[in-house]
Amino acid sequence: MKKNNYIMHKNVKIGKNSAIGDFVIIGVQPKGEKGKNIKTIAGNNIIIRSHSVIYAGNSIGNNFQTGHNVMIREDNIIGDDVSIGTGSVVEHHCEIGNRVRIHSQAFICEYSVLEQGCWVGPNVVLTNTLHPLCPLAKKCLKGPTIQRNAKIGGNVTILPEVTIGENALIGAGSVVTEDIPKNSVAVGNPARVIKNIDALKCKYGWINKPYDLAIK
């Protein structure tokens, strides 16, 4: 039988039917918090793949999974059925709702909010600092909010405090500098709304509408 080859620190509680890969570390104490034994809680049926690191203070729901080499910092609230792809980083104090999908190599900055059912493509970058290196920069950190069922295409950058509205779609490679209304399609640098998602058609003709707002 294979020997477990991961590190699980004190005050880590993981539910039933879970699988932890090689060289995973769970429950790392944040800088300045050593000795406090901050609790880390994860639900049932989780899969943490090799070389991933999860800091202490996270609350993680059921059916959570990571790809390989994922970094999750402290004090995040993560819902059920969340998936975080290989090489992605989730910084501290984020809120991630149920059924969120974060693809590979994404960067989710501190104080981001990802609401239920949203989809974040590969190499997406969320930012939270209006004026980097300002002496008071840390006092006004605020990440983006991605509302329910919004979809962020690959290589998108979203600036601090921006809200992506419910069901909105951000085209690949866009730089989002302002709020995007719900049900909108936005593209470009800076991103601009070009249509409503209800106007999108399936390129292959398999279905009438990729995102039918009448279907909940």
3-state secondary structure of 26: strand
User: Tokens in use for 203?
Assistant: 């390129």
Q: Assign 139 to helix, strand or coil.
A: helix
Find the catalytic residue in 9, 68, 93, 131.
131
Known catalytic membership, residue 131: yes
Residue the block writes with tokens 């329910």: 148
Nearest to 160 by CA among 170, 145, 150: 145
Q: Which two tokens stand for residue 134?
A: 């300002």
First to last CA, the chain: 46
Rounded Cα gap, residues 93 and 189, in angstroms: 28
SS3 163: strand
Where in the sequence numbering do the catalytic residues fall? 131
